[in-house]
């Protein structure tokens, strides 16, 4: 009986639910995207993405303000569907990935704006420079997936000035800022 | 005489030699210049286009040159040359050929890493064979750049050696290629 109690207590201790659920971004299944777009000459949008990244977040519907997110991005994985352009983007004219191969985002404050809207403030490290940025985010949904897991997904948008991250503005007056479109789906751990 | 003889280089060998010399130096200068063009420069798009087009045509010329070299006799080396000079010159020539071919290969790998072919003067297109390794455009690009410096270095040695034979040794080493 005593043994059983100990066993039960141990089980209970280890299966205690963490306050906010921890999620791992589903990069394996590619249900997350870090897309960017920048104006080309002011006449159209050029889009691209970072193919390789990983991250985790914690989120609880009942206590959204306690949420956190951390994402590590491989800057060398930039992909604009044109090898010569990607080579140029990776060179020291832009991201200088041989020196600054890693980008990172760490949230510092997440605020529930109601209606599934969130404001995510955090430090973005890009091109070796760390700056606080604000991401307007939206919870898209959460729930069980068909394979026995539990998922939650968000999208977010923000705008970065190239100059703010020490990236030379070489693309003309219409292309001084790049917009990020973020889509993350996490699998609850 | 078009073909080489044991006494002299033929016209074809000379023409192709000087053609390749001019093209290699031209591509080097063009390449060096074009990578620093700003986005709004009117040459920003056309300079790489010409660089790639000429590079592909250079490959064709070099293939012909290699075949021509193999099915022609080689004129006898001037008797004034020492054994070291013979060996050094011969090795340098072979390395120059290899480097030019590698330049073309690495250049091709940069531009075709995303399955895009290379348009040669809007005349014909060389198809892409796809990507062979991760970050192909960057790795091939680095090799292309350093190989270019190496090639121009060896070209300088080759030229200085020819001038040395002409002005100091006063033999016919340079003259027989003219």
> What local confidence, expressed as pLDDT, does residue B78 receive?
86
Question: B135: which chain A residues are within 8 Å (Cβ-Cβ)?
Answer: 76
Calculate the average pLDDT of chain A. Answer: 91
pLDDT at A13 over 80: no
Contact assignment for B138 to A90 by CB distance below 8 Å: yes
Domain assignment present for B107: yes
Distance from the Cα of B30 to chain A's closest Cα (Å) equals: 17
- The phi-psi region of residue B122 (left if phi > 0; otherwise alpha if psi is between -120 and 50; otherwise beta) is left
Assign B80 a pLDDT band (cuts: 50, 70, 90). confident
Distance CA A152, CA B163 (A): 74
Query: Using beta carbons and an 8 Å cutoff, which residues of B are at the interface with A?
Result: 38-40, 48, 110-114, 116, 131, 135-138, 141
> What local confidence, expressed as pLDDT, does residue A18 receive?
47
Domain assignment present for B147: yes
Residue-wise pLDDT for B114-151, tens only, equals: 999 999 998 999 999 999 998 899 999 999 999 999 99
Domain assignment present for B3: no
Mean pLDDT of A123-141: 96
A19-188 domain in CATH 2.40.128.110? yes
Distance CA A11, CA A102 (A): 40
DSSP-derived secondary structure letter, A91: S
Domain assignment present for B5: no
Burial of A138 (0-12, 13-18, 19+ CB in 10 A): middle
Domain assignment present for B2: no
> What local confidence, expressed as pLDDT, does residue A169 receive?
84
Contact assignment for B110 to A81 by CB distance below 8 Å: no
Q: Do residues A172 and A6 touch, judged by C-beta distance below 8 A? A: no
Mean pLDDT of B74-85: 90
Total tally of structural domains belonging to chain B: 1
Residue-wise pLDDT for A64-87, tens only, equals: 999 999 999 999 999 999 999 999
Distance CA B163, CA B25 (A): 17
pLDDT at A143 over 60: yes
Distance CA A150, CA A169 (A): 43
Query: Using beta carbons and an 8 Å cutoff, which residues of A are at the interface with B?
Result: 76, 81-84, 86-87, 90, 170-172
Contact assignment for B112 to A82 by CB distance below 8 Å: no
Question: A90: which chain B residues are within 8 Å (Cβ-Cβ)?
Answer: 138
Contact assignment for A172 to B137 by CB distance below 8 Å: no
Percent of chain B surpassing pLDDT 70: 100
Distance CA A178, CA B84 (A): 60
> What local confidence, expressed as pLDDT, does residue A44 receive?
97
Mean pLDDT of B88-98: 96
> What local confidence, expressed as pLDDT, does residue A4 receive?
59
Q: Which residue has the higher pLDDT, B79 or A134?
A: A134
Domain assignment present for B1: no
> What local confidence, expressed as pLDDT, does residue A12 receive?
53
- Give me the domain span that covers residue B102: 11-177
The beta-carbon neighbor of B39 closest among A86, A90, A170 is A170
Residue ranges covered by each domain of chain A:
19-188
Residue-wise pLDDT for B14-29, tens only, equals: 999 999 999 999 999 9
CA neighbours within 13 Å on the CB side: how many for A6?
Answer: 3
Distance CA B155, CA B94 (A): 12
């Amino acid at each position: 009986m005593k043994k059983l109690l100990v066993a039960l207590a141990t089980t209970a201790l280890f299966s205690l639910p963490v306050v906010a659920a921890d999620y791992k971004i589903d990069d394996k299944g590619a249900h997350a995207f870090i897309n960017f777009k920048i104006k080309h000459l002011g006449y159209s949008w050029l889009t691209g993405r970072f193919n390789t990244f990983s991250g985790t977040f914690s989120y609880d519907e009942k206590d959204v303000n306690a949420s956190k997110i951390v994402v590590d991005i491989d800057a060398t994985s930039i992909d604009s569907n044109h090898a010569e352009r990607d080579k140029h983007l990776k060179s020291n004219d832009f991201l200088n990935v041989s020196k600054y191969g890693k980008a990172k985002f760490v949230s510092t404050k997440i605020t529930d704006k109601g209606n599934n809207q969130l404001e995510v403030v955090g430090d973005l490290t890009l091109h070796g420079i760390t700056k606080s940025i604000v991401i307007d985010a939206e919870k898209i949904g959460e729930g069980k997936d068909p394979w026995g897991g539990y998922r939650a997904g968000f999208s977010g948008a923000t705008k970065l000035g190239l100059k703010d991250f020490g990236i030379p503005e070489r693309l003309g007056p219409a292309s001084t800022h790049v917009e990020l479109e973020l889509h993350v789906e996490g699998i609850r751990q | 005489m078009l073909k080489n003889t044991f006494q002299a280089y033929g016209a074809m060998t000379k023409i192709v030699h000087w053609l390749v010399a001019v093209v290699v130096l031209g591509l080097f200068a063009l390449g060096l210049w074009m990578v620093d063009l700003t986005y709004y420069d009117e040459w920003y798009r056309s300079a790489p286009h010409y660089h790639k087009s000429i590079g592909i045509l250079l490959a064709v010329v070099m293939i012909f040159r290699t075949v021509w070299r193999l099915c022609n006799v080689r004129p006898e080396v001037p008797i004034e040359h020492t054994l070291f000079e013979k060996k050094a010159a011969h090795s340098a020539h072979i390395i120059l050929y290899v480097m030019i071919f590698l330049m073309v290969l690495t250049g091709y790998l940069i531009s075709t890493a995303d399955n895009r072919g290379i348009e040669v003067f809007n005349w014909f297109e060389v198809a892409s064979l796809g990507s062979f390794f991760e970050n192909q455009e960057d790795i091939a690009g680095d090799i292309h750049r350093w190989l270019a410096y190496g090639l121009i270095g060896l070209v300088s040695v080759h030229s200085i050696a020819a001038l040395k034979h002409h002005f100091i040794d006063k033999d016919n080493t340079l003259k027989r290629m003219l």
